[in-house]
């Protein structure tokens, strides 16, 4: 049970802030602290985008309406 | 006598008529057709060239869409410059508008240097590259999304931007989605289809690896196209509906208007956070662009003509390009300082690269590197690198321009 709680806390910490984007969740001076599962040694493009950094960032989780039933973005018109 | 005094007084009181200058009269001219994102670079570098005793040149330029510039340079025979030109005289202040000259060259003048502020391959309507033309990659140009200062928004994701610019009034956003208020094309200020600013966003907001139905074209990118970056700035800053307003700009235009506009942090496809081009809003270090956390950028490209032997047809034009690339150091000032001061990033200061517009990023280790020099010379910048000189060598790395660079 304790292990499950610890895992839950760690998972939440890795989620960043919730939908609230009005106040920027700025990055902290320590590399990677506050960043969701940042990549220490980036290799791929996605790794690079999510590499550990001490730069400021904004955490945003927008609600996208009009998604397809499978959750995908609709085709352009 | 009295009449003479009256005439003299009247003449003194009349505003001076602007002096007409013929382009043919300018000393050592190099004729350029550039994207408007590169105008500040040409004005800044041009001022140093016009005042140089080592290699004096006059940059005579016209701004146009990047893909128009490429098409003009690739046409056979190449299109010529027949329009009224701007030029950069000695003593010019780059913060001011540059003067114009009358293009009195019969039949127009050859384009010595053409510029694209995005991958040339993005200009799909341009003719194929002729063999007698050289194209080289130059400094990196960042592009950004801005909102009015009165907007509460701070960031936008690729998914949001896909919906905003793909569906406009029908994107589904509105009062129920206060974090995504952009749902009115009348308040979405974009650029025409030949402009690098639009084309870079077109490529960057297309869903990676997806089908044509999820790929933007300029025609599918909704909004109100503005002919000049200054028009975007004007419309965004004076918007009657700040929350709904959003605009596309070259990052250097935002850098020049930091108090009039608000830059949005951007979260690209597959990214977990949104980042500014710089380490923080208000910095000028382009840290996030340089290390790959900010993905909306493109290299600039510089095009010149070659002679029958494959050498530069105009050595002065080649000299200008080499200055922009940082390969030529014979001016009285370091030309990379001009590149850095106008918000561009020399390739030698990058840690990532890409090979196609809006394409994936890869790790990049330029040699020689100039990250220390770059970080020390951006406005408000500083470098943590060790300094060095002829008498104080580096403990590690290579001494270049006073800093111990990694390579």
Residue A18 has pLDDT above 70, yes or no: no
| Lowest mean pLDDT segment, chosen from A11-15, B111-115, B277-281, B293-297 | A11-15
Q: CA nearest B288: which of A35, A51, A37?
A: A51
Q: Which residue has the tokens 């005793």?
A: B53
User: For B147-160, what is the mean pLDDT?
Assistant: 97
Euclidean distance between CA atoms B343 and B252, whole angstroms: 5
User: For A31-41, what is the mean pLDDT?
Assistant: 67
- In eight-state DSSP terms, residue B187 is G
Q: What confidence tier does B2 reach under pLDDT thresholds 50, 70, 90? A: low
Sign of CA dihedral B141, B145, B148, B152: negative
Chain A residues within an 8 Å CB radius of B268: 49
Q: Which residue has the tokens 């690729």?
A: B158
Cβ–Cβ below 8 Å for A51 and B268: no
Residue B15 has pLDDT above 70, yes or no: no
Residue A17 has pLDDT above 50, yes or no: no
Report residue B10 as tokens.
């009247």
For helices B196-205 and B158-167, angle between their N-to-C axes, nearest 10 degrees:
120
Residue B14 has pLDDT above 70, yes or no: no
Q: Which residue has the tokens 């001011």?
A: B96
Euclidean distance between CA atoms B207 and B269, whole angstroms: 8
pLDDT-above-70 percentage for chain B: 96
State the ipTM, two decimals: 0.88
The minimal CB distance from B272 to the residues A48, A50, A55 is found for: A50
Residue B376 has pLDDT above 60, yes or no: yes
User: For A48-75, what is the mean pLDDT?
Assistant: 94
**Which residues are CB-contacts of A34 (< 8 A; sequence separation ≥ 6)?**
A16, A25, A27, A28
Cβ–Cβ below 8 Å for A58 and B167: no
- CB of A41 within 8 Å of a chain B CB? The answer is no
Residue B86 has pLDDT above 90, yes or no: yes
Cβ–Cβ below 8 Å for B207 and A73: yes
Question: What's the pLDDT at B407?
Answer: 86
> How far is CA B367 from its chain centroid?
24
pLDDT-above-90 percentage for chain A: 48
Question: What's the pLDDT at A21?
Answer: 30
- In eight-state DSSP terms, residue B172 is S
Question: What's the pLDDT at B344?
Answer: 96
**Which residues are CB-contacts of B225 (< 8 A; sequence separation ≥ 6)?**
B190, B191, B192, B193, B198
Question: What's the pLDDT at B289?
Answer: 98
- CB of A5 within 8 Å of a chain B CB? The answer is no
User: For B289-310, what is the mean pLDDT?
Assistant: 97
Neighbours of A56 (CB within 10 A): 23
Residue B151 has pLDDT above 50, yes or no: yes
Euclidean distance between CA atoms B386 and A66, whole angstroms: 53
- Pairing mode, strands B29-34 and B113-116: parallel
Report residue B167 as tokens.
């569906």
Strands in B151-296 per DSSP E: 155-157, 188-190, 224-225, 246-250, 261-263, 265-267
Question: What's the pLDDT at A20?
Answer: 30
Average pLDDT, chain B: 93
Average pLDDT, chain A: 67
Cβ–Cβ below 8 Å for A64 and B159: yes
User: For B27-48, what is the mean pLDDT?
Assistant: 96
pLDDT single digits (tens) B19-28: 799 999 999 9
pLDDT single digits (tens) B236-247: 999 999 999 999
Euclidean distance between CA atoms B110 and B60, whole angstroms: 12
- In eight-state DSSP terms, residue B401 is T
Q: Which residue has the tokens 């009195």?
A: B104
User: For B188-206, what is the mean pLDDT?
Assistant: 95
List the Cα angle B175/B177/B183 in 5-degree steps. Answer: 70
Interface of A with B in 46-75 (CB under 8 A): 46, 48-51, 53-60, 62-66, 73-75
Chain B residues within an 8 Å CB radius of A76: 166-167, 213-216, 220
Residue B10 has pLDDT above 60, yes or no: no
Interface of B with A in 275-304 (CB under 8 A): 275-276, 279-281, 287-288, 291-293, 295
Between the alpha carbon of residue B48 and those of residues B35, B59, B208, B335, B366, the distances in Å are 20, 10, 42, 9, 27
Euclidean distance between CA atoms A70 and A12, whole angstroms: 25
pLDDT single digits (tens) B49-82: 999 999 999 999 999 999 999 999 999 999 999 9
Residue A29 has pLDDT above 60, yes or no: no
Q: What confidence tier does B18 reach under pLDDT thresholds 50, 70, 90? A: low
pLDDT single digits (tens) B309-363: 999 999 999 999 999 998 877 788 889 999 999 999 999 999 999 999 999 999 9
Q: What confidence tier does B113 reach under pLDDT thresholds 50, 70, 90? A: very high
């Amino acid at each position: 049970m304790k292990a499950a709680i610890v895992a839950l806390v760690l998972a939440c910490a890795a989620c960043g802030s919730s939908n609230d984007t009005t106040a920027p969740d700025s990055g902290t001076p320590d590399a990677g602290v506050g960043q969701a599962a940042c990549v220490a040694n980036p290799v791929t493009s996605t790794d690079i985008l999510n590499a550990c950094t001490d730069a400021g960032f904004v955490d945003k989780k927008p609600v996208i309406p009009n998604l397809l039933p499978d959750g995908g973005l609709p085709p352009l018109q | 006598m009295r009449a003479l005094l009256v005439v003299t007084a009247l003449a003194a009181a009349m505003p001076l008529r602007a002096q007409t200058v013929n382009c043919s009269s300018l000393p050592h001219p190099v004729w350029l057709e550039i994207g408007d994102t590169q105008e500040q670079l040409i004005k800044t570098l041009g001022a140093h060239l016009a005042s140089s005793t080592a290699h004096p040149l006059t940059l005579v330029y016209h701004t146009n869409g990047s893909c128009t510039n490429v098409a003009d340079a690739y046409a056979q025979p190449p299109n010529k410059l027949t329009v009224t030109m701007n030029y950069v005289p000695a003593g010019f202040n780059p913060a001011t508008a540059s003067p114009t000259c009358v293009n009195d060259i019969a039949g127009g003048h050859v384009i010595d240097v053409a510029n694209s502020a995005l991958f040339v391959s993005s200009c799909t309507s341009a003719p194929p590259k002729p063999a007698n033309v050289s194209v080289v990659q130059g400094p990196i140009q960042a592009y950004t999304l801005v909102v009015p200062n009165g907007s509460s928004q701070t960031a936008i994701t690729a998914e949001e931007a896909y919906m905003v610019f793909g569906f406009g009034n029908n994107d589904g956003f509105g009062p129920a989605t206060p974090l995504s208020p952009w749902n009115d094309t009348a308040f979405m200020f974009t650029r025409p289809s030949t402009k690098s600013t639009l084309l870079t966003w077109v490529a960057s907001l297309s869903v990676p690896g997806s089908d044509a139905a999820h790929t933007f074209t300029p025609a599918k990118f909704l909004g109100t196209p503005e002919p000049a970056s200054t028009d975007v700035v004007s419309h965004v800053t004076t918007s009657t509906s700040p929350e709904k307003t959003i605009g596309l700009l070259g990052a250097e235009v935002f850098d020049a208007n930091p108090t009039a506009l608000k830059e949005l942090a951007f979260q690209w496809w597959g990214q977990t956070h949104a980042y500014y081009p710089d380490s923080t809003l208000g910095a000028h270090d382009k840290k996030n662009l340089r290390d790959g956390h900010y993905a909306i950028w493109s290299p600039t490209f510089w095009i010149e003509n070659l002679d029958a032997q494959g050498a530069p047809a105009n050595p002065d034009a080649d000299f200008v390009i080499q200055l922009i690339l940082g390969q030529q150091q014979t001016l009285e000032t370091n030309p990379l300082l001009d590149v850095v001061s106008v918000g561009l990033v020399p390739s030698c200061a990058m840690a990532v690269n890409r090979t196609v517009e809006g394409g994936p990023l890869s790790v990049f280790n330029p040699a020689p590197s100039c990250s220390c020099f770059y970080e020390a010379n951006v406005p408000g910048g500083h470098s943590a690198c060790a300094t060095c000189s002829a008498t104080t060598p580096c403990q590690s790395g290579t001494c270049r321009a006073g800093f111990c660079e990694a390579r």
